[in-house]
Amino acid sequence: MSATIKDIAQLAGVSHTTVSRALNGSPLIHPATRERIVQIAEQLHYTPNRSARSLVHGRSNSIGIFFSTLGEGTSSSFFHASVRGVSRVLQDRYNLVVRGIDDYADYREVGPKRFEGALVMSQQDRDDAFLRHLQEQQIPHVVLNRRAGGEEMASIVAGDREGAFALTKHLIGLGHRRIAVLEGVSGFRATRERMSGYEDALRAAGLGRRRDYTAAGRYDLASGYEGMLRLLALPERPTAVFCMNDEMAVGALKAAREAGISVPDDLSLAGFDDNGFSAYVTPPLTTVRRPIEEMSREGARVLLAMLEGRPAPAGTTCLPAELVVRGSTGPCGCRSSAG
């Protein structure tokens, strides 16, 4: 099996204490001794036993990234970008453990001994129970993607509200007055944020919000398709539709095309996220780019700072989202706004 510090100690003719100190850079060790020990360690391919270290330090050396769910509701591109970003920052200083919050039957498995820190990719308020658990267990954590808790909790969000506001304003600027929204999962915080950005923009333009211009969706392709069918069946059809993510927008696009409605000539359509596909469908989607990978990277950096006792920003950090205008939105071709 693999070598231990005791093996090294024996070969070097010193005690295991000396070896431990030498390898950990203690200033107490004579340079020559250290040199010798390091060489022997190299030679034996010594790798410290994480479990033993964890035991003595009371730290597990692993960090969890928790998603509300690993299944439906978490889009692939979002999941990928998140894990990639965090993984890049943590490198191999910590084990990155991926889990879905809804997979836990009992949060008690999540303890400070098992997770040194946690990144919570939180979509819904339902996750608050999990966050409370983390707090009780005194596990340092950063909430990503959702404004959560008070000033004491660090969270990193991307400008959902601002993005939705800018997008809606863009549509209004194009002359649209009948602007519908294809909603995401209603429990998700991002859904509410985007909704309020949409509403604020309407209000700022003196437009009222119409109940029938909201269609429910689930952030996936199928629900985008179905929701669009419902909107198209309305007696007074909207001239623009804001889909709360790109997946739904692609679904909506299909529904529109099948109904013989041209985008953007007959109807403007916009998405959210800029998930990669949005630039490639036809017409390319106007959308809002959300800096997901940056968000997860920043979250990981903040968590590291917390773990290492460095000063870490509390409260909410908001990374700006950016309106990306492409071909799926155009000037309103409707006969005035008389309605």
- Residues forming contacts to a copy of itself in the complex (CB under 8 A) are 1-2, 45, 47, 49-52, 54-55, 58, 60, 62, 70-71, 74, 76-77, 79-81, 83-84, 87-88, 91-92, 95-100, 103-104, 108-109, 111-114, 221, 225, 250-251, 253-254, 257, 276-277, 279-282, 284
SS3 328: coil
Judged by beta carbon distances under 5 to 8 A according to partner kind, the member of a copy of itself, DNA, none in contact with residue 21 is DNA
CB of 314 to a copy of itself, least distance (A): 24
Residue 106 CB, nearest approach to DNA (Å): 17
The four Cα atoms 84, 88, 92, 95 give a dihedral, to 10 degrees, of: -40
Minimum separation from the CB atom of position 128 to DNA (A) = 29
Phi, psi of 323 (to 5 degrees): -70, 130
- Interacting residues with DNA (CB under 7 A): 1, 4-6, 13-18, 20-21, 23-24, 28-30, 33, 48-49, 52-53, 55-58
Instruction: Give which of DNA, a copy of itself, none residue 15 binds (C-beta under 5 to 8 Å, depending on kind).
Output: DNA
Q: CA 269 to CA 262: how far, in whole Å?
A: 10
Helix (H, G, I), strand (E, B) or coil at 215: strand
State in Å, rounded, how far the first CA of the chain is from the last one. 79
The CB density around residue 103, as the number of other CB atoms within 10 Å, is 11
Distance of closest approach, residue 100 Cβ to DNA, in angstroms: 26
Nearest Cα neighbor of 251 from 290, 291, 285, 211 is: 285
Q: Whole-number minimum distance, CB 25 to DNA, in Å?
A: 10
User: How far apart are CB 249 and a copy of itself at their closest, in Å?
Assistant: 10
Give the Å distances, CA to CA, from 306 to 111, 168, 200.
17, 38, 36
Nearer to DNA, 60 or 123 (CB): 60
Would you say 140 or 197 has its CB closer to a copy of itself? 140
Burial of 106 (0-12, 13-18, 19+ CB in 10 A): exposed
52 or 204, CB closer to DNA? Answer: 52
Selection from DNA, a copy of itself, none that 20 binds (CB < 5 to 8 A by kind) is DNA
Q: Residue holding tokens 């539709």?
A: 241
Please name every residue paired with 317 in a beta bridge, in sequence order, or none if there are none: 156
